[in-house]
Each structure stands twice: as structure tokens, then as C-alpha cells.
């Protein structure tokens, strides 16, 4: 075993070290003396030997039984299959890494062999050190590539299965970050193109998959004619080409407005913005719900003003007493002048109605609601009748004693 090679490679791939005594090498060589010599050297290096065999057909049969980790193959073999054809089958069947043995170094042969993707070549007659090095390097390189493929597969699976939109945008030509912000925004619309995203991202824009969105320009998502879109890009640039939980209003394939919560980071090299990575959540339903609430509150306020209804909320624990503007008007007050206390309300109740009004509130705590008529006295001394309906607690039993009344 070449300890020098192992010491060099071990720090690079500490997670894939496997004792060589557990690894097997398939030897396929039609020269009997060379095959035996090769097998003895491989054993001395600490590997198990599968074979040797002399034909491609025998190699495939033995590989199915032994499942070798590496194959040493003579390029020219007797039989119907040469070494290159055998190597192709071994890679297709179990991705077995191949090292070619050859006494021939002509360009045509090497061109055919290279198409298979071998991990190395050993020229006959071989040197023991060359054999050791080729086996070590092939082992580590193959295992590193396998680990990389698994990592990429996990990455792709995560991207595709994520409920968030994940994307990559490239800028061609790259954006000069030293330019004024207004010029940068203009150039983004010329150079930005979405080149990678997952299916979730595609569906956010009304497509059935990522394929419909990939290749789209920035103008498709953030129309250049929309001032708010340009303001959004302006804010990203001023924040150093990054964003954390920033909302955007964009356009889907149907021309409808969709809302996103964005996180993104730009990759700047030598003063040039070359790409951006980002994630986003579709918050369109939430934004629509918020807008519906605002519209409902606006309609309620209009109805209150038209019907001369006021709203209040009193917290028994804190003593805070909120009155709407409409309720202040009913008490003869200018908007915003009510002091917000229980005492402030009770002082304005007619002296003859105070005791009954307080008892009515106490009953509300026991029965959850009440309706009560009482008189109030304005600052100018005039007396007015009011009707109050109160809900003292909300929710289904069992409930704690209510501390807030709404009316």
C-alpha cells in the first residue's frame, strides 16, 4: 500500500475512508502470466482480488457474483467483447470505476477508451508504485463523486419538495454595482433572467411547473411600467443586493397581482452583480384577507356613522376604556377627547341612572351580555338617552371569568 498517497488524500475525504482489506479489485487480463503477477501485487497492497479472468463475458459474470469496487481491465481482450465494451457494461450495471491496462497508446485506442470515462491508465509493463497510486486515487475519486451525486440528489429533492419558491436569477451582462441606483434598476430590466427555480415557484405564477417560468425576464414578474416594482428593486440595491422578509407585489401569467414575502442575496464579484439566489412565500391570500378586513372595517365605520352607533371596549383588569369616535360624538365630546377611564364614563351617566348602569354591567359579567337604556349628561348640561348592548366574554365554555366587555 502506498501510504504517501493515503496521507495526502485522507484529509480531503475523511468521511469516505474504507479499509482496503474490505475492497475488492476485479482483474481482467488475457495474458496469464501478467494476470497472476498483477493479482499478487494487488493482494500485497491489501485488496481482495476477484479473478483474474481473461474475457469480457467472464468479467461480467464474476462482477455480478463478487460485486467488485474497482476493475483493472486490459483494453484488448480475447472473445467477443474487448476491454472498452466490458468497461461500458460494468459502468452501466453498477457504476464500477475502471482502470485500463494497455501496452498500446495509439490515439484511436485512447480516444475510444476515453469515451467510457475511465479513472486512469496503467501502461504495461507496470510499476508497483504506479499501480498503488492509480488504485488509491481511483477509490477516493469514485467515492467522492458518489458522495457529491448523493448530495446533489438530496439538494434537488429538497428544492423540488419545498413549499417555498426557490430561484436563481442570472445577469448577462453582469451589473456594475458602482453605477447610480436609477441606472442599475434600468439595467436590471435588460440583463436579468430567471434560469432556475422549483415547481412551487412556477405554480405561484400560475404555471403547472417550473418549466413555464424558467427563462422569463424581470419585466414578466415586476413590470417596468409599475412604479412600485421599480421602488422594490431600488430598495434591494440600496440594501446591498439582499432582502430579508420583504414584501413584493408582482404579476402572474394571467396578469393578476400576486404578493410574496421575499428573502434573497446577490453574488457580487469584482464589483459586478452576477447572480441572485432567493426564496419566497406566496402571501396573496393573507394580503387579500387583510384587505377584506380593512374594507369591512371601513364599511362598519360608515354604517356606524350613518346609524349613529358607537363602539367601546372596557378592560376590568387594566381599567382602560376605549371609545370609538362615533361614541365620543354621542356623548357630546370632540373626537379624541375622552379620557379613556371607567370613571370618565360613569361621571357622564345621569346621577339617577348610575347605580342601575353599574349593576347592569355586573350582570353582564355573569350572563355574558346585556342590553340597557340609560341617560347621559353632556358638558353643556343637556340630557340624552342612550341604548347599550354589551358582550362580556367570547368563546365556548369552559371559559375564565371575563375581564373585557365589548359594546
Residue 257 lies in a domain: yes
Is 351 within the bounds of a domain?
yes
Query: Within this chain, do residues 370 and 267 fall inside the same structural domain, yes or no?
Result: no
User: pLDDT by residue (tens digit) across 14-69?
Assistant: 434 455 557 888 888 888 888 888 888 888 888 888 878 878 788 888 888 888 88
The whole-model pTM stands at 0.49
Residue range 367-395: average pLDDT? 77
The rounded mean pLDDT for the chain is: 80
Inside any domain, residue 292:
no
Q: Is residue 66 part of a domain?
A: yes
Any domain includes 391 = yes
Closest CA to 75 of 108, 36, 33, 41: 108
Residue 276: what pLDDT? 92
35 falls within a domain: yes
14 and 132 share a domain? yes
Lowest mean pLDDT segment, chosen from 154-163, 175-184, 226-235, 283-292: 154-163
Tell me the CATH number at 45: 3.40.50.2300
Q: Is residue 293 part of a domain?
A: no
Q: Is the pLDDT of residue 392 over 70?
A: no
Domain shared by 201 and 261, yes or no:
yes
Angle (nearest 5°) at CA 255 between 249 and 260: 25
Question: Which ranges constitute the DSSP H helices of 162-257?
Answer: 181-191, 199-204, 218-221, 227-238
Q: What is the pLDDT of residues 183-202, one digit of tens each?
A: 999 999 999 999 998 899 99
Give the domain CATH number at 381.
Answer: 3.30.450.20
Decide which of 141, 158, 175 is a domain's last residue: 158
Decide if 321 contacts 314 (C-beta within 8 A): yes
5 pLDDT band, cuts 50/70/90, is very low
Are 71 and 136 part of one and the same domain? Answer: yes
Query: Would you say residue 372 lies in a domain?
Result: yes
The size of the chain, in residues, is 407
* Residue 238 banded pLDDT, cuts 50, 70, 90: very high
Number of domains in the chain: 3
Mean pLDDT comparison of 114-123, 217-226, 369-378, highest-scoring range: 217-226
Confidence of residue 306 (pLDDT cuts 50, 70, 90): low
Please check whether residues 13 and 140 belong to one and the same domain. Answer: yes
Task: Indicate whether 224 and 243 sit together in one domain.
Answer: yes
Among 255, 287, 319, the domain-final residue is: 287
pLDDT at 61: 82
Same domain for 254 and 353: no
Say if residue 377 is in the same domain as residue 264: no
Domain hosting residue 187, numbered range: 163-287
Query: What's the pLDDT at 195?
Result: 92
- Nearest alpha carbon to residue 13 among 136, 160, 156, 163: 136
pLDDT at position 98: 82
Query: What would the DSSP string read from start to end of 277-297?
Result: EEEEEE-HHHHHHHHHHHHHH
Query: Cα(405)–Cα(403) distance, rounded to whole angstroms?
Result: 7
123 and 9 housed in the same domain: yes
Percent of the chain at pLDDT exceeding 90: 20
Q: Are strands 70-74 and 98-102 parallel, antiparallel or unpaired?
A: parallel
Same domain, 247 and 393: no
Looking at the structure, tell me whether residues 76 and 150 fall in a common domain: yes
Distances (CA, A) of 228 to 217, 219, 220, 231, 262: 17, 13, 14, 5, 15
Which of 101, 130, 158 represents a domain boundary (last residue)? Answer: 158
Cβ-contact 134, 142 below 8 angstroms:
no
Given a cut of 50, whether residue 394 has pLDDT beyond it is no
| Domain shared by 268 and 250, yes or no | yes
Amino acid at each position: 500500500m502506498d501510504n504517501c498517497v493515503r496521507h495526502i488524500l485522507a484529509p480531503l475525504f475523511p468521511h469516505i475512508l474504507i479499509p482496503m482489506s474490505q475492497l475488492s479489485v476485479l482483474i481482467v487480463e488475457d495474458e496469464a502470466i501478467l494476470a497472476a503477477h498483477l493479482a499478487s501485487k494487488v493482494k500485497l497492497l491489501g485488496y481482495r482480488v476477484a479473478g483474474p479472468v481473461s474475457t469480457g463475458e467472464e468479467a461480467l459474470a464474476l462482477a455480478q457474483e463478487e460485486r467488485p469496487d474497482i476493475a483493472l481491465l486490459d483494453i484488448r481482450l480475447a472473445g467477443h467483447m474487448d476491454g472498452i465494451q466490458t468497461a461500458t457494461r460494468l459502468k452501466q450495471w453498477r457504476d464500477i470505476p475502471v482502470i485500463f491496462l494497455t501496452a498500446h497508446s495509439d490515439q484511436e485506442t485512447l480516444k475510444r477508451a476515453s469515451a467510457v470515462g475511465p479513472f486512469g491508465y496503467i501502461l504495461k509493463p507496470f510499476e508497483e508504485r504506479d499501480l498503488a497510486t492509480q488504485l488509491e486515487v481511483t477509490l477516493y475519486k469514485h467515492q467522492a463523486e458518489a458522495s457529491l451525486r448523493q448530495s446533489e440528489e438530496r439538494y434537488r429533492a429538497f428544492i423540488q419538495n419545498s413549499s417555498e419558491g426557490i430561484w436563481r436569477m442570472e445577469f448577462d451582462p453582469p451589473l456594475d454595482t458602482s453605477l447610480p441606483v436609477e441606472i442599475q434598476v434600468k439595467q436590471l430590466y435588460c440583463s436579468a433572467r430567471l434560469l432556475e427555480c422549483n415547481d412551487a415557484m412556477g405554480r405561484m405564477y400560475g404555471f403547472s411547473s417550473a418549466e413555464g417560468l424558467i427563462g422569463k425576464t424581470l419585466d414578466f414578474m415586476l413590470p417596468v411600467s409599475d412604479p412600485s416594482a421599480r421602488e422594490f428593486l431600488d430598495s434591494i440595491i440600496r440594501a446591498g443586493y439582499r432582502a430579508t422578509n420583504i414584501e413584493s407585489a408582482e404579476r402572474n401569467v394571467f396578469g393578476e397581482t400576486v404578493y410574496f414575502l421575499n428573502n434573497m442575496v446577490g453574488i457580487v464579484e469584482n464589483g459586478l452583480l452576477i447572480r441572485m439566489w432567493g426564496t419566497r412565500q406566496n402571501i396573496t391570500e393573507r394580503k387579500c384577507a387583510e384587505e377584506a378586513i380593512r374594507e369591512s372595517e371601513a364599511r362598519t365605520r360608515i354604517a356606524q356613522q350613518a346609524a349613529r352607533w358607537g363602539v367601546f371596549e372596557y378592560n376590568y383588569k387594566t381599567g382602560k376604556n376605549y371609545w370609538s369616535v362615533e361614541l365620543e360624538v354621542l356623548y357630546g365630546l370632540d373626537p379624541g377627547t375622552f379620557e379613556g377611564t371607567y370613571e370618565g364614563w360613569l361621571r357622564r351617566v345621569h346621577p339617577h341612572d348610575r347605580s342601575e348602569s353599574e349593576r347592569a354591567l355586573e350582570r353582564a359579567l355573569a350572563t355574558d351580555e346585556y342590553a340597557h337604556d340609560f341617560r347621559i349628561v353632556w358638558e353643556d348640561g343637556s340630557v340624552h338617552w342612550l341604548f347599550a348592548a354589551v358582550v362580556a366574554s367570547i368563546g365556548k365554555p369552559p371559559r375564565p371569568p371575563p375581564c373585557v366587555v365589548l359594546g
